[in-house]
Amino acid sequence: MGGVLSTDLVPWADATVSQMMAQTKMLMGTVVEYKELMMMYACAIKEVRTKFDVLNTEFKIRYQRNPISSISTRLKRTASITDKLERQNFPFSLESIEKNVNDVAGIRVICSYIDDIYTIAEAFLRQDDVTLIAQKDYIAHPKPNGYRSLHLIISIPVFFADRKKDMKVEVQIRTIAMDFWASLEHQLKYKQEIPNQPEIISQLKECAEIINATDEKMLDIRHQIEEIADAPTEEDILLEKLSKLDLAVDV
């Protein structure tokens, strides 16, 4: 797969019948190849989602807690792919999409706490069929507007009927609070021509700092509760003392 999707075509008004037939055949074939490529990306999303579902189930059994609150997925729209390639001056071809667009397939993992993000990411990346291509930690190093999230670009093999193909997937992992802020900020930034825009941007960043502080506070509270739950009770202490007594009787 690698045909050009929209260039090298003779203008329809200037084309001969044979040229029109040839171009129609080429375009139909390329559309089929494009749909096949999108299918492969969709299958890669399923593979990655299954991995996170399995990890969440395992953690529930081992630690009596689900680190993942929710998972959402998306396949980038054709218009968005085209826009991205045009902005970066890349041709709109199948090869170019695979090489230059890392987020055609996307999955967002929402965790309850900040430490869950890194725990889940590390467990995911330890799997031997997951290859890390790039990582950006916007939690340790937030964007200037206050955005926080852990971004991973990974490659995963997907098995089809007659072949295996490595596919790229973008994974975003963030907390519920981070996702709340990012979702609203995304909506607000598309409301153009609003007055006092610098002030609005400043307020959004302030909200991001407050939300991050809340994330850290909730994690601290969870740690306190876990310490209390793990602390030995009076019964535990008594049983431990009894176990150390020499109750043997000399005969």
Assign 3-class secondary structure to 71-82: EEEEECCHHHHH
Architecture of domain 28-236: 2-Layer Sandwich (3.30)
Asked which of 3-12, 19-28, 141-150, 189-198 is least confident by mean pLDDT, the reply is: 3-12
**For position 185, what pLDDT does the model report?**
86
Is 170 tagged catalytic? yes
**For position 194, what pLDDT does the model report?**
66
Q: Say which residue, 187 or 86, is predicted with more confidence.
A: 86
Mean pLDDT of 170-180: 97
CA distance 172 to 107: 6
**For position 202, what pLDDT does the model report?**
87
**For position 238, what pLDDT does the model report?**
65
How much of the chain exceeds pLDDT 70, in percent?
A: 77
Neighbouring CB atoms inside 10 A of 189's CB total: 13
Q: Considering only CA atoms, which of 54, 82, 80, 78 is closest in space to residue 68?
A: 54
pLDDT in tens, 42-64: 999 999 999 999 999 999 999 88
pLDDT in tens, 201-243: 888 899 999 999 999 999 999 999 988 876 665 665 566 666 6
pLDDT in tens, 98-151: 999 999 999 999 999 999 999 999 999 999 999 999 999 999 999 999 999 999
Which position among 86, 170, 227, 235 bears the catalytic label? 170
pTM equals: 0.79
Give the domain ranges of the chain: 28-236
Residue pair 85/99 in contact by the 8 Å Cβ criterion: no
